[in-house]
Amino acid sequence: MPIHRDLLQRTQDLAIEFLRTLDQRPVGRPVDFTTLTARAGGPLPNDGEDAAQVIEHLARAIDPGLIATPGPRYFGFVIGGALPAALAADWLTSAWDQNAFSFASSPAAAAVEDIAARWLLELFGLPAGCSVGFTTGCTMANFTGLAAARHALFRQLGWDVERQGLQGSPRITVVASDESHVSIFAALQMLGLGRDQVVRIPTDEQGRMRTGDLRAAIAAIDTPLLVCAQAGNVNTGAFDPISEIAECVHDRSGWLHVDGAFGLWATASPVYRHLLRGVELADSLAVDCHKWLNVPYDCGIALVRDRSAHHAAMSLSAAYYAQPADCARENHDWVPEASRRARGFAVYAAIKSLGRNGIAEMIERCCTLARRMADHLSRGAGVRILNDVVLNQVLVRFGNSDAFTAEVIRKVQEDGTCWLSATTWHGMHAMRISVSNWSTSEADIDLSAAAILRCSKPADAP
Ligand SMILES: *Cc1c(COP(=O)(O)O)cnc(C)c1O
């Protein structure tokens, strides 16, 4: 088979050059969509071009539109970069081009997902019997966990929801908080459970579900119960009191789902694990590997205590899907997709390259750096930190005005030293900083804090 050695080596050079200069390029830069599409686009080609030319052209044309999200000073959303071992494994994943669908389509992908799944359960301190699915991200991990919940709760009612559907079904009730992530509602809308049917529980000043209100709401519910809690608020990083929530939910034989997209990684650290007390009691959990584990996109994980509910909600069967008798794992039993990327390789490489201690150290380092950022910024005139910095998230307000805060964010984004985004917190416009990248150093924080303070000089205040 032709191996295109020159093409792949040139591609490797392009990738290395991007990574080598990652911390020197402006982290985000204003780019015009039309310019970008004009640079890269053109009419549908009738005839093919040399592959090396195509790659050179692609890399050159879209370069102005690349954001340094894998770099050390990108603090927008909750992103994370790519650990060296994870990136390398991801390159091989493309070269190997395995279909992670089943044992038959890739014994390697089935085995490695099984290994990575066991490691993840141990890292998170969850029961070894939980089932684990590798999804595109946490939205689909939430979907998967909630689908398992839907199965189990309808089973309590003697209703096989996968076969009978929701039309004419008895009712179950879904409870979430005022601060539940939008992906919970996206998952519920896809599951036919209806965004607007959700009972919403108020939250405290850090965005944590109020358990008193939860108890009162549950007392008024007489159907099977699904409660969605959150480990790691996207704005403040705060954790719902999972142990207390689990107790109320299980008193009612309800199902507790925990969205721990980034926050669940705190269980990997002896210093931060206490924030998730009771998490092992959850019936299902969702977490991202492409956020804080720092594997390349895309990878989320669904973890479910009741394997049979998980299996019933996700499995598909066809005559030609026959599985070998000695197969321990069929990847497709635990996720919505059939054919898909072999996501386990990068997760395996990330965990193996850091080990339990290295993961704990990475999580703790990000949290320490977030506090360092908050300390630097809080010394600026008119700067206020809005949240208790309990994890890796920092919320900042400038000059106590929405307009000025928006202006500072715009200037920082233009400046290019670092990149961060805006949010609304308790009705106020705020800067949101997330420290989630393995490569961020104290020097990156110091440089970024100085840039932010420069952009927020009181002289510019209205
Ligand atoms: C990012 C995030 C999600 C969604 O995850 P995706 O990987 O973007 O699908 C869900 N919940 C929380 C708390 C998040 O931070």
Q: Who's near 396: CB < 8 A, 6+ residues apart? A: 374, 377, 383, 384, 385, 386, 405, 430, 431, 432, 433, 452
- Output the six-digit token pair for 52: 């090396």
CA distance 215 to 1: 65
Mean pLDDT across 369-374: 98
Tokens 């964010």, located at residue: 409
Kindly give the number of the ligand 1 atom that is closest to the alpha carbon of 234.
Answer: 15
Q: Whose CA is nearest to atom 5 of ligand 1?
A: 138
CA-based R_g, the chain, Å:
23
The neighbouring-strand residues paired with 258 are: 229, 285
CA distance 366 to 69: 16
Ligand 1, pocket-test mutation among 185, 233, 234, most atoms within 8 A of CB: 234
CA distance 302 to 221: 27
Each residue of 59-103: pLDDT tens digit?
999 999 999 999 999 999 999 999 999 999 999 999 999 999 999
User: 52: CA distance to ligand 1 center in Å?
Assistant: 36
Kindly give the number of the ligand 1 atom that is closest to the alpha carbon of 300.
Answer: 7
Task: Decide the pairing of beta strands 225-230 and 428-434.
Answer: unpaired
User: 62: CA distance to ligand 1 center in Å?
Assistant: 27
The pLDDT value given to residue 315: 84
User: 180: CA distance to ligand 1 center in Å?
Assistant: 11
User: 261: CA distance to ligand 1 center in Å?
Assistant: 5
Lowest mean pLDDT among 33-42, 116-125, 266-275: 33-42
User: 134: CA distance to ligand 1 center in Å?
Assistant: 14
Each residue of 212-259: pLDDT tens digit?
999 999 999 999 999 999 999 999 999 999 999 999 999 999 999 999
User: 189: CA distance to ligand 1 center in Å?
Assistant: 16
369's enclosing H/E stretch is helix 344-378
Query: Which protein residues are within 6 Å of ligand 1, measured from CB?
Result: 78, 137-139, 181, 183, 232, 234, 259, 261-262, 288, 300
Each residue of 377-423: pLDDT tens digit?
999 999 999 999 999 999 999 998 999 999 999 999 999 999 999 99
Kindly give the number of the ligand 1 atom that is closest to the alpha carbon of 140.
Answer: 9
Mean pLDDT score of the chain, rounded to an integer? 95
Kindly give the number of the ligand 1 atom that is closest to the alpha carbon of 298.
Answer: 7
Tell me the C-alpha to C-alpha distance, in Å, between residue 453 and each of 81, 392, 441. Answer: 25, 20, 18
Kindly give the number of the ligand 1 atom that is closest to the alpha carbon of 260.
Answer: 13
Angle ∠(222,204,374) on CA atoms, nearest 5: 145
Q: Whose CA is nearest to atom 2 of ligand 1?
A: 261
